[in-house]
């Protein structure tokens, strides 16, 4: 952590004092009413934008929701309160985070209930891309968390906060949780919720490290506070617990890549020497879809079925979709 401490100290007078950081992250200090109203108005708006963007597969809308959303505030607040030992601020930040998550998911459920018919959830790329978190997501979220914490500590790099907000996948993920819950896809909702927990945990860990390196723990001790070791232990245990589903999901993703590649190779051999061609082979939810186009009748499907099932287990759904719309299960 020495390199990080030196990077923070290099700012000298550009380092934000603890009071300023607390005022920015804790709604219980300073202009409470103004900060509280700002938080909830922005959160509801961001939740609506995110849910609409997810349902409509609109990346610009989803990015806009990330910029507007204030949900990172209580998450960084948990990290800072853990470092400074403020029990009141820790509990207030946790409560605000839980309430914010609940509202975000509820908005997703409501919007999804009326609009999800526009595109089935199992083929919506905005949804599928947020329901299978892996260890890579944990690594990325930790890096983003360090960047965000560093921007809070150093005044001279605060202009990167908008970029950090875009990189942190919080509100859109919770919108996916709500939309998939509303459509009855509990498996997808669980995957998206694990991704949110992964991001939140990574940000908290990164925040604890950066805020400690910035000297805020020592400042708190000088003020008579006692940083809570128990909170740090609980955070560490929580992150370790998350490694189990993330590791399993990483293994599942790897296996699906292998199965999809095997199905693609078999499909290429299936159309070889004919006027048909394979347009794409991809994973859709828990299935592998082979899309083929060509004139007249397709080549005999039985050979493709045997070739695919040599490498793809029978519980994994594989289907061939022809340009005529005809679908064959392998």
Q: In this model, does residue 12 exceed pLDDT 60? A: no
Question: Shortest CA distance to 63 belongs to which of 77, 46, 78?
Answer: 46
What integer pLDDT is reported at residue 104 of this predicted model? 93
* Distance, CA of 228 to CA of 240 (rounded, Å): 19
Q: 0.85 cut: is pTM over it?
A: no
DSSP state of 295: S
Question: Shortest CA distance to 320 belongs to which of 310, 298, 85?
Answer: 298
Over range 20-40, report the average pLDDT: 85
118 or 57, which is more confident: 57
Contact 279, 296 (CB under 8 A): no
Q: In this model, does residue 223 exceed pLDDT 80? A: no
159 or 186, which is more confident: 186
155 or 314, which is more confident: 314
What integer pLDDT is reported at residue 103 of this predicted model? 93
Looking at domain 255-329, its CATH architecture is 2-Layer Sandwich (3.30)
Mean pLDDT of the chain: 83
Adjacent-strand bridge partners of 289:
282, 319
């Amino acid at each position: 952590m020495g390199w990080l401490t030196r990077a923070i100290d290099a700012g000298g007078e550009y380092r934000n004092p603890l009071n300023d950081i607390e005022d920015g992250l804790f709604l219980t200090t300073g202009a409470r009413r103004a900060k509280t109203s700002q938080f909830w108005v922005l959160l509801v708006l961001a939740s609506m934008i995110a849910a609409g963007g997810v349902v409509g597969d609109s990346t610009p809308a989803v990015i806009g929701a990330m910029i507007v959303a204030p949900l990172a505030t209580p998450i960084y607040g948990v990290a800072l309160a853990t470092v400074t030992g403020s029990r009141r601020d820790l509990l207030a930040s946790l409560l605000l985070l839980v309430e914010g998550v609940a509202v975000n998911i509820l908005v997703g459920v409501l919007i999804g209930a009326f609009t999800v018919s526009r595109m089935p959830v199992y083929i919506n790329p905005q949804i599928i891309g947020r329901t299978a978190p892996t260890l890579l997501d944990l690594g990325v979220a930790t890096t983003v968390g360090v960047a965000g914490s560093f921007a809070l500590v150093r005044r001279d790099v605060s202009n990167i906060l908008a970029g950090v907000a875009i990189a942190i996948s919080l509100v859109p993920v919770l919108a996916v949780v709500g939309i998939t819950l509303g459509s009855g896809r509990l498996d997808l909702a669980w995957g998206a919720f694990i991704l949110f927990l992964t991001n939140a945990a990574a940000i908290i860990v990164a925040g604890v490290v950066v805020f400690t390196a910035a000297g805020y723990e020592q400042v708190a001790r000088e003020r008579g506070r006692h940083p809570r070791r128990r909170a740090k232990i609980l955070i560490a245990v929580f992150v370790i617990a998350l490694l189990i589903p993330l590791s399993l999901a990483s293994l599942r993703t790897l296996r699906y890549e292998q199965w999809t590649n095997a199905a693609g190779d078999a499909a290429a051999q299936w159309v070889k020497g004919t006027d048909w061609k394979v347009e794409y082979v991809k994973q859709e939810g828990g299935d592998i879809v082979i899309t083929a186009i060509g004139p007249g009748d397709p080549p005999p499907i039985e050979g493709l079925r045997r070739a695919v099932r040599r490498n793809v287990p029978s519980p994994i759904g594989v289907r061939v979709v022809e340009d005529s719309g005809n679908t064959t299960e392998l």
